[in-house]
Amino acid sequence: MDFLPADLTDYAEAHTSPESDLLRRLNRNTRAHVMAPRMLSGHLQGRLLSMIAWMIRPRRILEIGTYTGYSALCLAEGLTDDGRLITIDHNEELEDFARSYWQQSPLNDRIEFRIGAAAEIIPMLDETFDLVFIDADKRNNSLYFDLIFDKLRPGGFILADNVLWSGKVTAPVKSSDLDTTAVLAFNQKIQEDPRVENVLLPVRDGIMMIRKL
């Protein structure tokens, strides 16, 4: 997932504003106690998400894929004073873990957790979003994009994670590799969509930044 040499990654993190103590503990305990810790946004990407949110100052954020709640806290940092973040995840087993850290943050009251299938929950959301972060099952990236597009305000942003997929997007793809095939199709879909402009950022596993025209 990390394409830069380790020393350059360390240098980048050393010259990036540090995590808060709360985020540091969440980071550490996710890696120590939760399966698949590579799914965590982590220090560098987390600060990038926070910076983007501060630049946009969204009133409504939608996050698709909560995991242990790290990225939700980072994104919520940039909310307006009356802002709210809705985060969706199907894994109810991590709810208590995520909430235990949110409750230690002054941002807790601005985070709303919806448990269930995102494809079923998104159509029921009666909101207009300023910022959307897609970081769930990669095979449904295109579906999530389609479901959220009309709920995103003109000029709003979508961020999609893992669009470099550990470098597999530039290698020959086996027909049985459905995840890589889905990531490639999503990237091409965004590139060809005349309703948006986009930049693929090679940060960690790749973030596609999309602006609705």
Three-class SS of 50-90: HHHHHHHCCCEEEEECCCCCHHHHHHHCCCCCCCEEEEEEC
Exposed / middle / buried, residue 127 (Cβ in 10 Å: 0-12, 13-18, 19+): middle
> Is the model's pLDDT at 2 over the cut of 80?
no
Residue 42: the pLDDT is 94
> Average model confidence (pLDDT) for the chain?
96
Q: Confidence band (pLDDT; 50, 70, 90) for 175? A: confident
Q: Which helix (H) or strand (E) holds 199?
A: strand 196-201
Residue 1: the pLDDT is 67
Q: Confidence band (pLDDT; 50, 70, 90) for 150? A: very high
pTM, entire model = 0.96
Please, are residues 186 and 142 in contact by the beta-carbon 8 Å criterion?
Answer: yes
Higher pLDDT, residue 175 or 61: 61
Q: Confidence band (pLDDT; 50, 70, 90) for 38? A: confident
Please, are residues 213 and 154 in contact by the beta-carbon 8 Å criterion?
Answer: yes
Please, are residues 39 and 194 in contact by the beta-carbon 8 Å criterion?
Answer: no
Instruction: Mean pLDDT check: name the lowest of 110-114, 151-155, 163-167.
Output: 163-167
Please, are residues 169 and 163 in contact by the beta-carbon 8 Å criterion?
Answer: yes
Q: What are the structural domain ranges in the chain?
A: 6-212
Task: Please tell me the CATH code under which domain 6-212 is placed.
Answer: 3.40.50.150
Q: Which of 66, 106, 123 is nearest to 89 (CA)?
A: 66
Q: Confidence band (pLDDT; 50, 70, 90) for 4? A: confident
d(CA 39, CA 73): 15
